[in-house]
Structure 1
């Protein structure tokens, strides 16, 4: 019984941590940042150039990712470079993309079926 309670508590902690992590991922800009950094380490200027957003806006998003432990930053001279602190996060995001693609295909198929029923 004690082991069962420990497992339940462990699962609850994991769920809480997972919710926090999902919160950090809950913005398209942050997902784009993670995708870019999944390919290679980039400096702040390169990230900003790829995303086309303001410096303060980028800093805000980077801070959220750092606080969540997803981003590693290092300074080299006047440049600050960013990389993924946990490379597996890119794989997790790719899995989520596949899930969403499947959902969209299913929704699209249902919409086509409904349209055809309504028309004929």
Structure 2
């Protein structure tokens, strides 16, 4: 019996749930990148980047190709880039709502009315 779709989705989102992996996918959304380029942009150790790329390869989100001694990565589907764009839109809305709440909290409180004496 296969895993329910919601479990597969949860595993998929767990794969995306790492800042370095998200950054790599963002870079690859623009174009194919070599490992050396990604090292400069992600500011992580080569072994650590290699681990994160392996996770993305196992999830079939990226594909690698070798050219001489260089290794280049690309997205397996342009829909990954679309997913990142949708996430950005959702986060923008969430942050905008939070900014409005923060502004409300920072606004001066209205003066309290004096107690009435009858």
TM superposition score normalised by structure 2: 0.84
More helix per residue: 1 or 2? Answer: 1
Larger Rg: 2
After TM superposition, list the pairs within 5 Å mapping 1:1-120 onto structure 2: 13-116=4-107, 118=109
* Structure 1 residue ranges (4+ consecutive) displaced by more than 3 angstroms after TM superposition: 117-120
On the 8 A contact 1:65/1:71 being kept in 2, the answer is yes
Aligned CA-pair RMSD: 2.0
Q: Deviations over 1:23-82 (max 9, x none)?
A: 111011111100101111111111111212110110111011111110101111111110
List alignment gaps of at least 5 residues for structure 2. 112-118
Q: For residues 25 and 118 of structure 1, what CA distance do their matches in structure 2 show? A: 42
List alignment gaps of at least 5 residues for structure 1. 1-9
Q: For residues 70 and 56 of structure 1, what CA distance do their matches in structure 2 show? A: 19
TM superposition score normalised by structure 1: 0.83
